[in-house]
Amino acid sequence: MAKRFMKLSVLLLVVVFASTGFSAKKAETFSSSMFKLNVIGELADVPDIIDLDMSPHQNVPFVGKSYLGFCEDLGFSESSGNYRAVNRLGYAGKYQFGRSALDWVGIRSRSKFLQSPLLQEQALETLISLNKWVLRDYIAAYDGQVINGVKVTESGLIAAAHLGGAENVKRFLETNGDNIFADANNVPITKYMTKFAHYDLSSILPDPNAKVTL
């Protein structure tokens, strides 16, 4: 319990940093015409993945390959770290949660989700826990292998599941890399497997019943 409290406290500090440090000018730098305005009324352009420099740690705190590093780098890749972002397909928040992902982690109000950075951080933690459970056997079997030129790691698989869903990660592994899912921006899950390899996600345990508690 104490460990979880400490982790949420650190996440809150990161949330405050990101919320106060993100300027409108930065949002314009990564804007794309394919995205729409946030329903709350604030400008919330989200970068098209092909327009975005996916260099890790750019405009985010330096937290390396830790869990917080994974969160910040994933959030930057998904939305430039914008908690109020909504794209043309309705994916919302810093980590671009769709309706099914929100339902899975136990969130029923997208409006409440968009207005709460801390809720979004807990939602990501919960989603990682659920995906770890779904992929537990695949992580154990494939971790460290090279498939179709891609090094398989736990964090890479979790990031790929965030992009394309756990079932598409399974298909990639089961077909020895022949079946490669790409999202609506034509980004393949293999890009996230490579981009987010070797992060330490050991603090998040697999749990089939994980739900957001805020």
Q: Would residue 71 count as lying in a domain?
A: yes
Q: Would residue 74 count as lying in a domain?
A: yes
Q: Would residue 201 count as lying in a domain?
A: no
Look at the chain and report how many structural domains it folds into: 1
Q: Would residue 139 count as lying in a domain?
A: yes
Alpha helices in the chain (DSSP H): 2-21, 24-29, 67-79, 99-105, 110-115, 117-134, 136-142, 154-164, 166-174, 189-195
Q: Would residue 206 count as lying in a domain?
A: no
Residuewise pLDDT in 10s, the chain (214 residues): 445 544 555 555 555 444 444 433 333 323 232 333 333 333 333 344 333 333 334 454 567 999 999 999 999 999 999 999 999 999 999 999 999 999 999 999 999 999 999 999 999 999 999 999 999 999 999 999 999 999 999 999 999 999 999 999 999 999 999 999 999 989 999 999 999 999 999 999 999 999 999 8
Paired tokens of 130 = 């659920």
Cα separation, 58 vs 66, whole angstroms:
16
pLDDT of residue 63: 78
Q: Would residue 91 count as lying in a domain?
A: yes
Alpha-carbon Rg for the chain in angstroms:
16
Could you tell me the CATH number of the domain that includes residue 177?
1.10.530
Q: Would residue 200 count as lying in a domain?
A: no
pLDDT of residue 52: 36
Cα separation, 78 vs 52, whole angstroms:
9
Q: Would residue 212 count as lying in a domain?
A: no
Cα separation, 92 vs 119, whole angstroms:
12
Range of the domain at 158: 2-195
